[in-house]
Structure 1
Amino acid sequence: MSDVSGSELRALMARVPSVEKVMASAEFAALIGEYGRTQVLNAVREALDAWRISARSISAAAHSANSAHSTSAPQATHAAADTATTPPFSALDTVQLHATVDAALRGRNEPRLRSVFNLTGTVLHTNLGRALLPDEAVRAVMSALTQPANLEFDLATGKRGDRDDLIDDLICELTGAEAATVVNNNAAAVLLTLSALAANKEVVVSRGELVEIGGAFRIPDIMSRAGAKLREIGTTNRTHLKDYDEAINARTALLMKVHASNYAINGFTKEVGIGEIAPLAHARGLALAVDLGSGTLVDLSQWGLPREPTVRETVEAGADLVTFSGDKLLGGPQAGLIVGRRELIAKIKKHPLKRALRVGKLTLAALEPVLQLYRAPEQLAARLTTLRLLTRAADEIQGAALRVQPALQQAIDARYTVSAEPMFSQIGSGALPVDVLPSYGLVVRMTDGKRGGRHLLALEKQLREMARPVIGRIADDALRLDLRCLEAADEAQLIAQLAAQSGARTKSN
């Protein structure tokens, strides 16, 4: 529609169907059945309003162009008006209205939390949800979602129970601790411990252990928020036992050791072990708290992974309290676990913050079966998803890369060349930062050998916008897709998705 006059615009507006007529039409019945009347009604009103605004804008532009036409080069101006004044509809097209409303509703109702392909090479990727749960945990969560459960009900006595009782004995069995409690993450575990045991008092920590984790979250900050006063000792690279001894005074509440799981200092270094600090703390009537961060319950070196101190070893070395994550090396849901001496755990559980930081039934439902897997350590590498991914052999991953490579090459245009190459994965989430795992993946470079720049960014965006987003990383002038986390079922889905992309691209060409 060009040269829309005022009378033509009024005629178009008059033919716009009423909202009630649109909603009563057969075409919109299915949408109402799927999304409900309220959502469809709002979307129809928005679409009609947008059409009216567009039509008025086009009419105004045509009027302006016609005015210019009467005072300047007629033919050129008229041609410009024809080009600039094509509206969404020459009259309101109900078919297109339906398509517009349908697209709006689909976009509005698409889940924000979506499954992605983690091809970053980081197994425990904080931004992608960290640990994947084993099947046993998934089934337990489904049951807790759909059926009532004894979250705080003691089945033996018929009275109110404590939700920690669901997993307390199991955690103590696996760690050797006297008691345990669970909160929503390890930062919360540290915050609660300090708030309950060190408010308005001093906590002694080595300067080399004042770590910062993701999101600029720092140990000194959490101490401040907990009401504790940091007593910093030693230097960045060297701390001695006498530094702890000399820092203790009448205001000292705790000695604290923080496992530096997200960085490493090499060279001229010295740190004091738990076995040395614990006797000093106990001789001075103090408790030793240890933040293990991504704590593990088993010795990872038996599967060829770098060794990390286990929670049991930390307890046996003399730590009175140990805090660690549930969704890192443990391989469970997001949670923060606190284990240690019974009287200290009891004091922590009585603190008002405990209720604010406690976990719900879904976390407990997922955590218990994950902990149960540790009772059969000989089967752990096969049954615990995180450990299975970490121990996956490079030649197995190479096979996946060779199968996916042709599908990816066909799905992208000829400007890019895809090759299967060895690479290195990392554990992630602050765990073992300097250790890498031999892996295999796909490397996408520019066919002409140039640097890539915006073209690689465009391809990365294209993959990220697929039905199930593909998340890789750009490094060294190439898009790199590490396939360590791509197991058999996901591999088949990725190849099918790439084939669909290839078919759509061929059809559009």
Structure 2
Amino acid sequence: MEQSKNLLRQLPAVDQLLRHPLLQELSRENRNLVVAFTRQVLMGWRKRIRSTGVEPPGIEELVMEIRARYEACNRSNLQAVINATGVVLHTNLGRAVLSRAAAEAALMAARRYTNLELNLETGRRGNRYDHVSGLLRELTGAEAALVVNNNAAAVYLSLAALAAGRETIISRGQLVEIGGSFRIPEVMAQSGTRLVEVGTTNKTYLRDYEAAAGPDTALLLKVHPSNYRIRGFTHEVTTAELVDLGRRLQVPVMEDLGSGFLVDLQSYGIGGEPTVQFEIKQGVDLLTFSGDKLLGGPQAGIILGRRELVDVIARHPLTRALRVDKMTLAALEATLRAYRNPDLAIKEVPTLAALVARPEDLRRRAKRLHSLLALAVGSRARIGIKEIASQAGGGSLPLIELPSWCVTVIPAGVTVEELAGRLRQTNPPVLVRLQEDTLILDVRTLLPGESEELARAMVEALDGINDPSRET
């Protein structure tokens, strides 16, 4: 007890710490915060000394801890992170990274007044959707287009506007749940339509739809299964077959395409997903897809289809509640403009560039990262390089593995789980994969300039630099 009291006396007073030049400098920004963190740090050390009898730190160490807490408090909660997972459309990391043109357009819209709802020719009120609807019609061949804040909203709004109080027929095998507990049956129920499921989980035939259709049928619905697939003893109705039935029954066919490609990547070995243009040519009456998946744009739900149907949706009261803002429209317009030249889009839209990256180029990038890391960490970790498979992510291209290269890290004196945890606390944070007691850095998802940042973060993590503000 006496020893603990002696150790406690060695801690400086609050006023003594506040006279330190560094804390005086910070106090000019926000003295109240500096005083609060100074007291928190001293209280934490008092508890530690009483419980463990540890020697108290010196003034300089205490000041660094106070500064770290202050800086952490002023750091934005939403931070830029380094994605070394190899998952291109990582939902937890914000999915698509915008192109330079899209980011600049969003910044312009954020910092300036815009003609969001103003017709510059007439000087009268305009329609915010006019900024992108023409481009969407041009690129897809659809008669009309509307944009809401995500694809879930697009599906919900379309069902509410076109099928509330009436029946919507869907295959039982397409009643899926995707990320965030988004369940198709629940969305349909909330929209006000009556769900009529046909077929079985693994087999649905055209005759199942035809037998279920009646005077109260408002829509025939086809839903992209996202990451869910049934293999083996299966049968499903094609879009063309469903469209033909819809024409005969005079019932509109709606398709939730999910991701939505605007460019064919078959020549790059990436298939399995129909393009938006192809589905429109199949004759679907209404089509929805996401803006921040394979399109590579901002979060948005895009609705395409027959003009009379899109007009009904646009007039629905929920459309205003689900509308997109000026930054989203600016970024989406810039993204869509790139698709006027598909070859340019593949180079300039980061999502497409990451998907089509050639293994030989990825190998060169991995070798460069290997050299940077080996030089930076020395004997503190064993650095290697190997082939690996990346994923598109975001429910897109679930059956396709993208050949890639990665740098492997096996740290000395610390587990890979602990190293991964420390990397999440560096500046910027780094997200990795763990595989068989090895830390994996997939270069496919590294952006220009991030290899150097990653090397610095690895040194910081291996040095054991944690954010003191997280300590109790």
Asked if these proteins are the same fold (TM beyond 0.5), I'd say yes
The superposition leaves residues 342-378 of structure 1 with CA deviations (integer Å, 9 ceiling, x where unpaired) of 1111111121211111111111010001100111113
Q: 1:31 aligns with which of 26, 34, 39?
A: 26
Aligned to 2:369: 404
Aligned to 2:435: 475
Aligned counterparts, 1:281-360, within 5 A: 281-360=246-325
Matches within 5 A, 1:82-101: 84=53, 99-101=64-66
Please tell me whether the aligned partners of residues 384 and 408 of structure 2 are also in contact (alpha carbons under 8 angstroms): yes
CA separation of 1:49 and 1:255: change in aligned 2, threshold 3 A = closer
| Offset from partner CA, 1:125-173 (integer Å, 9 cap, x none) | 1111111111111111121121111111111211111111111111111
CA distance in 2, matches of 1:367, 1:53: 49
Aligned residues: 465
Instruction: Tell me: CA distance 1:27–1:57, structure 2 relative to 1, closer, same or farther (3 Å).
Output: closer
Evaluate the alpha carbon distance shift between residue 354 and residue 431 of structure 1 in structure 2; reply closer, same or farther with a 3 A threshold. Answer: same
Structure 2 CA distance for aligned equivalents of residues 230 and 120 of structure 1? 39
Q: Is the 8 A contact 2:405 2:444 kept in 1?
A: yes
Counterparts of 1:500 and 1:494, CA distance in 2: 10
Partner of 2:224: 259
Deviations 1:76-121 (A, max 9, x none): xxxxx9x8386678xxx6x777555433221111122222221112
Amino acid at match of 2:446: L
8 A Cα contact 2:23 2:34, kept in partner: no
Which residue of 2 is the match for residue 76 of structure 1? none
Q: Tell me, yes or no, if structure 1 residue 115 matches structure 2 residue 80.
A: yes
* In structure 2, distance between residues paired with 1:143 and 1:481: 34
Distance 1:45 1:241, change over 3 A: closer
Structure-1 separation of matches of 2:276 and 2:376 = 47
5+ unaligned residues in a row in structure 2: which ranges? 466-472
Query: Which secondary structure does the structure 2 equivalent of 1:204 belong to?
Result: strand
Quote the Cα distance in structure 2 between the aligned partners of 1:446 and 1:22: 37
Distance in 2 (CA, whole Å) between partners of 1:421 and 1:356 is 49
1:23·1:41 contact (CA, 8 Å) conserved in 2? no
Cα displacement string for residues 257-277 of structure 1 (whole angstroms, at most 9, x for unaligned residues): 112242322222211112121
Q: CA deviation at 1:503?
A: 8.4
2:95, 2:293 within 8 Å by CA — same for their partners in 1? Answer: yes
Aligned counterpart, 1:493? 453
Query: Retained in 1: the 8 A contact 2:14–2:39?
Result: no
Q: Please say if residues 299 and 307 of structure 1, whose CA atoms lie closer than 8 Å, have aligned partners that are also in contact.
A: no
TM-superposed CA distance for 1:283, in Å, is 2.6
The alignment status of 1:428 with 2:393, answered yes or no, reads: yes
Aligned partner of 1:44 in structure 2 is 35
Shift of 1:411: 5.0
* Superposition pairs of residues 368-379 of structure 1, within 5 angstroms: 368-379=333-344
Q: Distance in 1 between matches of 2:408 and 2:209?
A: 50
Aligned with residue 137 of structure 1, among 99, 102, 106: 102
d(CA) in 2 for partners of 1:381, 1:206: 35
The separation in 2 between residues aligned to 1:416 and 1:96, in whole angstroms, is 27
- The aligned counterpart of 1:152 is 117
1:288 to partner: Cα distance: 0.7
Distance 1:118 1:247, change over 3 A: same
Preserved contact between residue 41 and residue 65 of structure 2 (Cα < 8 Å): no
In 2, the alpha carbon distance for the partners of 1:336 and 1:12 equals: 61
Aligned partners of 1:144 and 1:365 also within 8 Å: yes
Larger radius of gyration between Structure 1 and Structure 2: 1
Change (3 A) 1:51 1:414: closer
- Counterparts of 1:179 and 1:122, CA distance in 2: 33
**CA separation in 1, counterparts of 2:264 and 2:48?**
69
Residue 435 of structure 1 aligns to a residue whose secondary structure is coil
Q: 1:363 aligns with which of 323, 328, 341?
A: 328
Alignment of 1:220-239 (within 5 A): 220-239=185-204
Per the TM alignment, residue 56 of structure 1 is displaced from its structure 2 partner at its CA by: 9.9
- Aligned match for 2:383, one of 418, 432, 436: 418
Structure 1 residue 340: Cα displacement: 0.6
User: Quick check: 2:157–2:318 contact (8 Å CA) kept in 1?
Assistant: yes
Rate the CA distance shift 1:98–1:419 in 2: closer, same or farther, 3 A.
Answer: closer
For 1:65, the equivalent position in structure 2 comes to: none
The residue number in structure 2 matching 1:188 is 153
The reply on whether 1:382 has 2:373 as its aligned counterpart is no
Residue in 1 that maps onto 2:130: 165
Partners of 1:455 and 1:276 in 2: CA distance: 55
Structure 2 counterpart of 1:350, which letter? R
Once the two structures are superposed, residues 317-341 of structure 1 have per-residue CA deviations (whole angstroms, 9 ceiling, x without a partner) of 1111000000111111111100111
Q: CA-atom RMSD, angstroms?
A: 3.3
Q: Cα distance, 1:201 vs. partner? A: 1.7
Q: Could you tell me which residue of structure 2 aligns to residue 241 of structure 1?
A: 206
Question: Greater relative contact order (Cα 8 A, min sep 6): structure 1 or 2?
Answer: 2
CA distance change for structure 1 residues 458 and 279 in 2, over 3 Å: closer, same or farther?
A: same
Residue 437 in 1 paired to residue 402 in 2? yes
Q: Using the alignment, how far apart are the partners of 1:29 and 1:57 within structure 2?
A: 26
8 Å contact kept, 2:37–2:69: no
Q: Is the 8 A contact 2:372 2:452 kept in 1?
A: no
**Identity over aligned pairs, percent:** 42
